[in-house]
Structure 1
Amino acid sequence: MAKQSSKDRVAEAAAAVGLNITITLMPESTRTAEEAAKACKCTVGQIVKSLIFQREDTEELVLLLIAGDRQADLEAAAQIVGGPLTRADARHVRKVTGFAIGGVAPLGHLSPIPVYMDASLLTHDLVWAAAGAPNAVFAVNPQALKEAISAHVMG
């Protein structure tokens, strides 16, 4: 049996939670928010940055979905998450989520991890998120995404 691609895992996870998405492979990189906005023909604020951090106290991974025009406020996030956060090791991220940093999707992880979403993403009708590879993205209504992945809203 062939190994399932990260993009297929994202598509299956979206379908399983009732999200109707189309994964688009971009000819150029969408690794940074600025590159993604240019490729998707949208504002940087409509780009969903999927940032993985590790709780210092429990070593549990958490996913912060941050608007592309913002930085993660780790002190504020720590208050919401319940413990201090530190950057997660790339190998550990890949082992737990199945994604390499730069292509981490908001859903389709190998193991469930808590998700926290920047409230500013909810001000848009459409946002663009990574779909399992550095050049793969999908557009989605942010409210539908929040509900489908049970994200906690920050801010």
Structure 2
Amino acid sequence: MPAQDHPKVQKVIAALREGGAAEEHVERMQVLPDVVTTAAAAAEALGVEVGAIANSLVFDADGDPLLVLTSGAHRVDTAKVAGLVGAAVVRRAKPDFVATATGQAIGGIAPVGHPAPLRTLVDRALEAYEEVWAAGGIAHAVFPTTFAELVAITDGTPADVA
């Protein structure tokens, strides 16, 4: 089965369309020849700055999933994020927690296409880029988008997360 036909990629494509993503972004979903599970690997494969990669990171915020779409150029400050969302503790989620919340595996988590909508913060640092790239539901699928589109399709909250 070609990777673009993978059920998880198809679910992300459907969610992008349902969420009102630009059709040109949906059509530019691409499957890279190699797995890209880090922002650096994705940036290298795409020929873009690492900051233009929208990392989809799932955190455990007092037991609830929290999706943070952050620029690949920096790390999330979990104490700062806890304050932003009113959580006592925000920590990186374990793989089984991530899989349950997203239906996807770490390294390929898309901003959309999850079993249920996730509370989402979108890193304001991504706004500096005309085009950003996000994962498409598997570790070697990516699609272009914009900061504004990420906020819209995820019903996310713009935030300074680093």
Task: Assess same fold via TM > 0.5.
Answer: yes
Residue 60, structure 1, aligned to residue 64, structure 2: yes
SS state at 1:54 partner: strand
Q: Which amino acid aligns with 1:38?
A: E
Question: Structure 2 regions of 5+ residues with no counterpart?
Answer: 1-5
Residue 108 in structure 1 maps to residue 113 in structure 2: yes
> What secondary structure sits across from 2:126 in the alignment?
helix
The structural deviation recorded for 1:34 is 0.6
Q: Which residue of 2 aligns with 1:77?
A: 81
Give the superposition deviation at 1:80: 0.8
Matched, 1:29 2:31: no
Q: The residue matched to 1:14 in structure 2 has which SS?
A: helix
1:117 counterpart = 2:122? yes
- Once the 2 structures are TM-superposed, how far is the Cα of residue 29 of structure 1 from its aligned partner? 2.0
Deviates more, 1:84-93 or 1:59-68: 84-93
Q: Deviations over 1:66-93 (max 9, x none)?
A: 1001100111111111102012121121
> Post-superposition shift, 1:148?
2.1
- Are residues 1:149 and 2:151 paired? no
TM-score norm. by structure 1 comes to 0.93
- Once the two structures are TM-superposed, the CA of residue 106 in structure 1 deviates from its matched residue by 0.5
Tell me the distance in 2 between the aligned counterparts of 1:130 and 1:96.
16
- Are residues 1:18 and 2:20 paired? yes
State which of 36, 44, 47 in structure 2 corresponds to 1:38. Answer: 44
TM-aligned CA deviation for residue 114 of structure 1: 0.3
Q: What residue is the counterpart of 2:100 in the other structure?
A: 95
User: Which residue identity does 2:51 align to in structure 1?
Assistant: G
Percent identity over the alignment?
31
Determine the structure 2 residue equivalent to 1:135. Answer: 140
**Superposition deviation, residue 154 in structure 1:** 1.1
Normalized against structure 2, the TM-score is what? 0.89
CA separation in 1, counterparts of 2:7 and 2:96?
Answer: 18
Question: In 1, are the aligned partners of 2:11 and 2:113 still within 8 Å (CA)?
Answer: yes
The residue aligned with 1:5 is: 7
Q: Deviations over 1:7-30 (max 9, x none)?
A: 001000000011122310001221
Amino acid at match of 2:126: L
In structure 2, the residue corresponding to 1:18 is in which secondary structure? coil
The root-mean-square deviation of aligned C-alpha atoms, in Å, is 1.1
